[in-house]
Structure 1
Amino acid sequence: MMTVRLARCEDLPALQALYDGARRFMAQNGNPEQWKTGGPTRAALEQDIRRGESYVCEEDGTLCAAFMFRAPVAEGETEPDYACINGAWAAPGPYGVMHRVAVATQGKGVVGFCIDWCFAKCGNLRMDTHRDNRPMRRALTKNGFVYCGVIRLGFDGSERLAYQKLK
C-alpha cells in the first residue's frame, strides 16, 4: 500500500539517488534539458524539508517517489514563477503547487497517487513541466489537468508548460 509522508533530513541520500535516476530517465527518453545541471540541488531539497514542503511516497517501506507540495497559495498571492503566464490559468487561487516530481519506477500509477494526495488537500492544483517531458505531460492529462499556457522560470528564464486541475 502506498503512503505519503513528510521527507526528513535522513532521507536526503535516498532523495538524491531518486532524482539522479529521474535525470537519467529523462535524458534517455527525449528530455535531456530538464534538470541537466543536476537539479534539484541538495540545497533546494534541504530547504523544502525545512519548510515542511518535501514529501516522499513509500510502498511497503520503499521510497517510490518524491515531490514538493505547498498549499494553499492564498488568494492575492502567487507562486513566483506563475505570476506571468502566456495563456491563462483556469481559475484563481487559493491553490496548491506541486513541483520536483520524481518516481523510482515508471508506469505503476505512482504519479497519479501523489497527484491525488495533493489534490485532496487543496482542490485547485497547479503544476508545470518541461515541453520535452512527455511522460509527465501524459500523466497530467490522464489525471485531469488542463493545459493553461507557458510560464518562465525565474532562476534561468527557461519555459515550462503550465497545467491546472480543479474540482
Structure 2
Amino acid sequence: MTTKPQFTVRPATEADLPTIMQLVKSAIQIMHNSGNTGQWKDGYPGKDIIMDDITSHTCYILMSEGKAVGSFALKPGSDPTYSKIYNGAWLNDEPYYVVHRVTSLPETHGTFAAVLNYSFGICSNIRIDTFCDNTIMRHLLEKHGFHYCGIIHVANGDERLAFHKI
C-alpha cells in the first residue's frame, strides 16, 4: 500500500532561490514532456521574478520529508491581468488571491492539492490561469472544482485560460 506524501508549506527565503530555479526547470520539463512547449518560454519565470515573489512574501516552498518538492506564488488581488476577462466572467467581484508559478518534481504527486489546501486556508476566493496547451494543469483545475471563466491576457499579450473557485 502506497502512502500519500505529507507536505508542509513555508515561506521561501532568498536562500531558496537556487532550489526554486531548479524546480522551475523541472516544471518546464514536465510541461514539455506533456506537449506544452509554449508556456514558460524565453527564460520565464526568471530569477528576478522569483526574487520579487520572495521579497514580497508571496513565494512558498512545499516540503516533503525535509526536501523541497514544489513551489508556488500566492498573491492577493487585484491582479492587473485579471481586470479584463473575455468570452466570460469571473464568478464574483469579491477580494481574491491568485495562484501563480506552480512547480513540482516529476516524481512527487499531490503537490497541487497541497498548494490549494494552503491557499484556501488564506482566502476562500482563488483565481488561476494557465496556457491552453497545459493539459496537466487544466486537468488538475477541473479535478479540484475550478470553473472555467474565460480568457485573460498576460503582460506580454499572450492569452491564458482563466479559472476561479470559491
Once the two structures are superposed, residues 113-158 of structure 1 have per-residue CA deviations (whole angstroms, 9 ceiling, x without a partner) of 111210121000000000000000111111111000000012x100
> Where do 4+ consecutive residues of structure 1 move more than 6 Å?
none
Taking the TM superposition and a 5 Å limit, the aligned residue runs for 1:23-42 are: 23-42=28-47
Counterparts of 1:113 and 1:69 in 2: how far apart (Å)? 13
**TM-score if structure 1 supplies the norm length?**
0.92
Structure with greater proportional strand content: 1
Q: Tell me: higher relative CO, structure 1 or 2? Use CA pairs within 8 A at least 6 residues apart.
A: 2
Taking the TM superposition and a 5 Å limit, the aligned residue runs for 1:61-100 are: 61-71=66-76, 73=77, 78-86=78-86, 87-100=88-101
Q: What is the aligned partner in structure 2 of residue 132 from structure 1?
A: 133
| 1:14 paired to 2:19 | yes
Shift of 1:36: 1.5
> What are structure 1's unaligned runs of at least 5 residues?
none
Taking the TM superposition and a 5 Å limit, the aligned residue runs for 1:44-123 are: 44-71=49-76, 73=77, 78-86=78-86, 87-105=88-106, 108-123=109-124
Q: CA RMSD in A?
A: 1.1
**TM-score if structure 2 supplies the norm length?**
0.93
Q: What is the aligned partner in structure 1 of residue 162 from structure 2?
A: 162
1:64–1:105 contact (8 Å) kept in structure 2: no
Whichever residue aligns with residue 165 of structure 1, its letter is K
Would the alpha carbon gap of residues 17 and 107 (structure 1) be closer, same or farther in structure 2, given more than 3 Å must change? closer
| 1:145 paired to 2:151 | no
Identity %: 37
Would the alpha carbon gap of residues 24 and 4 (structure 1) be closer, same or farther in structure 2, given more than 3 Å must change? same
Whichever residue aligns with residue 165 of structure 2, its letter is K
Counterparts of 2:13 and 2:65 in 1: how far apart (Å)? 18
> What are structure 2's unaligned runs of at least 5 residues?
1-5
Shift of 1:105: 2.7
Could you say what secondary structure the match of 1:85 adopts?
coil
Q: How many residues align?
A: 160
1:111–1:139 contact (8 Å) kept in structure 2: yes
